[in-house]
Structure 1
Amino acid sequence: MKLLRFAISKPVRRDVGAIGWLLAQTLWVGGLWLLHFLLLPAIAKVGLASLLVDELGDTLRPLLVGLAAICAAVQVLVLIRAERLVSLWRDMRGQLLLVVVAMAGSYFGVRRWLPEAGLWLMFSYLVMAFCGLLLVLQPVPERLRRKL
């Protein structure tokens, strides 16, 4: 009982930036992977019409790409706050985030002006998903991690 009381009474100090980094990363990377590699194949396997599965994918992918762009922008701001602007270009995390933002921009640009270029849309979606996977393998920015 004494150990339990100590664990409850001791305040835990966490940095908002590190929590924001991890939450944003979980939302966009998990969302992209969940939709493309789990949800849509599972819906197709259940036996729904392929046109319905395609329509669901066409509706949900732009929403998740927008979420990925917003969350990656939040991570860019957290990275700049933690390790200065120069780390955005020199650090692998910054480079991956810039690729994600660029791919999200190209996704929406191609979707608006060349809607028949479905192959490019899928390519940019998958590039964002794999950049997210590589970003998950990177550590939380150093200054933020010390405060956890």
Structure 2
Amino acid sequence: MVINKHDNGSPELYSFHSWLGVLVFGAYVIQFILGFINYAYPKTHLEIRRRFMPTHRIAGNSIFIMSVATVLTGHQRFACFAFNESSANLKPNEAHYAFCYETHTCVKRLDLILNCSTVFLLIYGVLVCVIIRVDEWKREQTPDEKQHTE
């Protein structure tokens, strides 16, 4: 996507969607590096691992929520460009998309696909957040993990 926009001469990093995407990517890289150092590096003290886990979980949940928000803003950006009459640089074969969203005559029902995927993404995001919060559904610690955390 970045290469495609760059080659077309489109402006970069001007929308909230793009800023949020860069933020999510950066947060994910930081979370990955800190998680790798903290949990995969064998010389990290067990007390540090135990104290870092709540922060690691909260950061992971926040990154997930931000990634869902990024996809939702991406859907909104796509709808604005694909279905807006005032969209600049419409090619003749794309002119149909300029008004099909309002009249529900889009080819291959692109409007329906976009709306359904948005609803399902919202449901998925809410369900994941609920599942990770319920204590009864969390994985039980192994005997080895219990030994190291006590």
Q: Which structure dedicates a bigger proportion of its chain to helix?
A: 1
TM-score, with length taken from structure 2: 0.48
Work out which structure has the larger RCO, using CA pairs closer than 8 Å and 6 or more positions apart in sequence. Answer: 1
The structure with the largest alpha-carbon Rg is 2
